[in-house]
Amino acid sequence: MLTRQLQQQARRQAGVMIRTAGIHITDKEAEGIEVVDFGLSRLQKEGVQVLTLLQTERISVKVLALFPNQTEPEHWHPPVAGDPGKEETVRVISGTLYFYSPGENTFQEGFLVKGKEHCYTMRHELVMRPGDQITLAPGVKHWFQARDEGVVMYSFSTVARDALDQFTDKDVVRITKIIE
């Protein structure tokens, strides 16, 4: 859960990061930035801020902002009825992204979230900078992280059904609860 105050503060911070990265967004879009704590109630450690630019029955375009040292928990996009699952391309706009997916263990620059090491099983590391991008087939486990400066990135994908994403950490709840 998140307090309304913390949600609004995180939303403002993410909006500034996105605009500073050179992405022109409307005020209405900035006000709609989703602050996601994955039900873990420690947003600064495990969480993400999401601006959905486009969502149709076929395509999703999102801007993701990660605060410094914030980690998005390991997850994957399973097949759903009539759809092989979400194919996603991540493209870095500003900052350095530490991205983990299947492959040889090359873990070096990132860090595992304390007490949750077992929930981060992918250890193949990509250090991604502005202009770098990676495309993930449906079902591929991944997680990612910002270090000192935070990250702004695009997520281009087939239709997103966030509520159906699956997480290694069984404590995750995809819908963030806001308390007043």
Q: Which position has the token pair 């966030």?
A: 162
Within 54-113, the residues that bind its own copies by CB under 8 A are: 54, 56, 58-59, 61, 87, 89, 91, 93-94
Considering only residues 134 to 173 of the shown chain, the ones binding its own copies according to CB under 8 A are 135, 156-158
Cβ distance 146 to 69 under 8 Å? yes
Residue carrying structure tokens 């299947």: 102
SS3 at position 162: helix
16 binds its own copies per the rule CB under 8 A? no
Q: Which is nearer to its own copies, 7 or 94 (CB)?
A: 94
Distance from C-alpha of 93 to C-alpha of 35, rounded to nearest angstrom? 19
Residue count, binding to its own copies (CB under 8 A): 24
Report d(CA 14, CA 163) in Å as an integer.
22
Binding footprint of its own copies on the chain (CB under 8 A) = 22-26, 29, 53-54, 56, 58-59, 61, 87, 89, 91, 93-94, 130-131, 133, 135, 156-158
